Amino acid sequence: MRIGTKLLLVFLPLAGLTAMVAEVLYVNSQRINESSHRVRQAYQNYSNILDMRRHEKNFSFYREKFYLQRIQDASSRAADSLSHLKGLGEENGAFFKFAAAQQALKDYQRVLGILFSAEDRAQVDSQIAELEALGATLEKMAEQAIGLSWLPIQVATRKAQTYAWVFAVQAGLIGLVLAFYFSQLLVKPLRQLLQATQKVAEGDFSRPVAPKSKDEIGALAESFNKMVASLENGRTQLQQSAQELRKTKDTLENIVQSSVDAIVATDPRGVITFANRSMQEMILGQAGQEDKLLGVHISRLYLGGMGEARKIMSVLRERGRLMNYETTMVSDGRVIPILTSASLLKEERGAVIGTLGVIKDLTEKKKLEEDLKKAQAELVQTEKLAAIGRLASGVAHEMNDPLTSILTFGNLLREDTPEGEPNRESLDIIIKEATRAKRIVSDLLSFSRESKPSLEWVDLNDVLNMSLLLLEKQGVMEGIEVGMELAKELPLVRADSGQMQQVFSNLILNSVQAMNDEPSAGKFSESPPGERKLLIRTLFGETPDESFVQSPSLGGPFIRIIFQDTGPGIPPENLSRVFDPFFSTKGTGEGTGLGLYIVSGILKNYGAKYRLESTVGRGTTFTIDFPLSTAQQT
């Protein structure tokens, strides 16, 4: 007889018992469900009557017919909920006086109707007393209904507990019988198979299992003996195959390790599982340190972090491979430009088990490209400066002498002209316009001529103070509230103090002119709208903030200078053009448009990063990050 047939005969009594208990419990649960609905109706009825009593007390105290209307609404709801309680308690012999409750509610509504039309105070008082008496009666009946509604549930619960105990005892007895039967039918033969399996696991194939029955366990014993014989034959073949695979593995590993390109493999989570010597040399600087890369998440090597890793992985999942993707890695503060090609590693069934990437170090290539771009830019700049320099030199030669004469004789005539004379105002205009013409010539010379800076150790705080002092003495800071928040013990930088003063003076002058044209509300304080304020701050930081793109020039310490004004701001359409030469938003004849262009040129020569932020109506902020190289740090 098969084991399945034996088990079926054994489990038939248990299945019958289970079905019987399940049927009883199902019927009991149906009764509990029906009783639960009646409990909810009883509680709803009690809630409506309590609502009637609450408005009844309010009417007794205030004598407002508004509350009679509320009582009438609540009594209607009570009548509706009471209609569901007919026959309450019949299952247990405790009858709910449904007809009496309905009659009391009708009497209550009748008295309520009398109160609606009653005008005499004595009549109202007597009806209120009757209304309260009927309300108290209805409240007691509602409480009785709640108690009776719970009785069927309590009875059903006790029955369920009794059935559960009976079933547990019966199941326990049957379980003991089945346990003994199974121990003889299954456990003993399986224990013999287990012992034989342990011997096979230890490498002993000399102990077959003797089948003692003609059921599935006997067939299993015969199959086990055949499997042992097959395993013994296969073990010899596996040993031979393992030797061949080991040789192949050593050859492939030698090929991968000898590759000049970096090769790295990860598991599906992005954790590095293999890195060849070239990968170790690129990231760690030397080979033989594979343990430092294994177990590291690949996102820690990308400059873009987890975002870059997810971007690459999404392309791999979509296309299956990635070809010649250019990105950057970082190691010990070094930014490494790379060109990577990657693909998904899949098992035979197509499930992804990891990724494989081949990485080329583009550091030398990028350096050559940068050198080429720099050489081309220098060539273009040289040709441009040569052409504009010749033009500017000619303009300066032709214009400076006449302008000097105009200024000289204009000042002499002004000194000889008494105040109040009509010609004195004309002379002032001539002197002012001639001075502006000389400034335009000077700006053109600065634009066309790239002078070699005179480098020295400079404190940028001192240069800021000097620039501000010179502008104050010229009278351009009148009406401007200047706030200075300068960092203490700012490191010295290697720069040309004259060029730095030119940068700071241009930026301060731009802010002042913008606020003189159209002042606006303060952005960095709680001052009333219309005040003109300029805040100048210096900070010393170890690394640039996240708003800047990482670059080698800002890989270490830097000094931040911030100019923040409350001017009218720059419209978005002009924000990207303010650094273009000869672009100006001032009126005709009020500026050359070279100020910010010269500022950007000087800052680029020092490797400084700058950012201009502006909101119309809220002001403008100009931020400079001045890098400190190893030689510049003090």
Residue 550 has pLDDT above 50, yes or no: no
pLDDT greater at residue 207 or residue 528: 207
Please give the pLDDT value at position 383: 66
End-to-end CA distance of the chain: 95
The answer to whether 393 and 442 are in contact (CB under 8 A) is no
- Count of CB atoms within 10 A of residue 157's CB? 12
**Paired tokens of 541:** 């930081």
- pLDDT band with cut points at 50, 70 and 90 for residue 225: confident
Q: How far apart are CA 494 and CA 206, in angstroms?
A: 86
User: How high is the pLDDT of residue 620?
Assistant: 92
Confidence of residue 519 (pLDDT cuts 50, 70, 90): very low
Integer-rounded Cα radius of gyration of the chain? 48
β pairing state of 481-485 and 533-541: parallel
Q: What is the rounded (10 degree) CA torsion for 587, 574, 581, 505?
A: 70
User: What is the reported pLDDT for 386?
Assistant: 57
Whether the per-residue pLDDT at 562 is higher than 90: the answer is yes
Model's pTM, two decimal places?
0.36
Kindly write down the DSSP assignment for every residue of 68-118, as one continuous string: HHHHHHHHHHHHHHHGGGTTTTGGGT----HHHHHHHHHHHHHHHHHHHH-
pLDDT at 172 over 90: no
From residue 118, give the alpha-carbon distance in Å to each of 63, 110, 310, 595: 11, 12, 81, 94
Q: What is the pLDDT of residues 413-455, one digit of tens each?
A: 878 888 878 787 788 788 777 776 766 666 665 555 555 677 8
Containing 234, the helix (H) or strand (E) segment is: helix 216-257
Dump pLDDT digits (tens) for 472-499.
Answer: 877 778 888 899 999 988 899 888 888 8
- pLDDT of the residue at 521: 38
Among candidates 299, 303, 324, which has minimal Cα distance to 551?
303
Q: Give the amino acid at 22.
A: A
Q: Spell out where 315-454 has E strands.
A: 321-331, 334-346, 352-361
The residue behind tokens 């547990």 is 168
Pairing of strands 456-458, 493-495: antiparallel
% pLDDT > 90, the chain: 6
Comparison of pLDDT for 331 and 192, the residue scoring more: 331
**Conformation bin of residue 543: beta by default, left when phi > 0, alpha when psi is -120 to 50:** beta
Instruction: Return the sign of the alpha-carbon dihedral for residues 458, 460, 465, 471.
Output: positive
Residue position matching structure tokens 């509680």? 43
List the beta bridge partners of residue 360: 339
| Residue 96 CA to its chain's centroid (Å) | 63
For strands 352-361 and 334-346, give the pairing.
antiparallel
Compute the average pLDDT of residues 108-122: 82
Structure tokens at 479: 């009406």
- Evaluate whether 315 touches 345 at the Cβ level (below 8 Å): no
User: Tell me: the pLDDT tens digits for 563-601?
Assistant: 999 988 888 888 777 877 766 766 555 556 667 878 888
CA distances from 197 to 102, 190, 230 (A): 80, 10, 14
Q: What is the pLDDT of residues 337-355, one digit of tens each?
A: 988 999 988 888 888 888 9
Instruction: Supply the pLDDT for residue 486.
Output: 92
Residue 31: name the closest of 157, 141, 119, 123 by CA: 157
All structural domains of the chain: 3-178 (1.20.120.1730), 259-361 (3.30.450.20), 363-450 (1.10.287), 452-627 (3.30.565.10)
Per-residue pLDDT, 210: 67
Percent share of the chain, pLDDT over 70: 79
For the stretch 353-358, contacts whose Cβ atoms lie closer than 8 Å and that sit 24 or more positions apart, written own/partner, are: 353/267, 353/268, 354/265, 354/266, 354/267, 354/268, 354/273, 355/265, 355/266, 355/270, 355/313, 355/316, 356/263, 356/264, 356/265, 357/263, 357/264, 357/265, 357/266, 358/259, 358/261, 358/262, 358/263
Question: Which of residues 512 and 230 earns the better pLDDT score?
Answer: 512
pLDDT for 462: 93
What tens digit of pLDDT does each residue of 84-114 get? Answer: 777 665 555 455 677 888 888 888 888 888 8
> Has residue 558 got a pLDDT over 50?
yes
Among candidate residues 507, 514, 516, the one with its CA nearest the CA of residue 478: 516
Tell whether the model's pLDDT for residue 232 goes beyond 50.
yes
Instruction: Please report the pLDDT score of residue 630 as a whole number.
Output: 43
* Token digits of residue 145: 């209904």
- For helices 497-517 and 460-473, give the axis angle rounded to 10 degrees: 50
Q: % helix / strand / coil in the chain, to the nearest 5?
A: 60, 15, 25
pLDDT for 502 beyond 80:
yes
> Is 208 in contact with 196 (CB distance < 8 Å)?
yes
3-state DSSP of 471-507: HHHCCCCCCCEEEEECCCCCCCEEECHHHHHHHHHHH
**Average pLDDT value over all residues in the chain:** 78
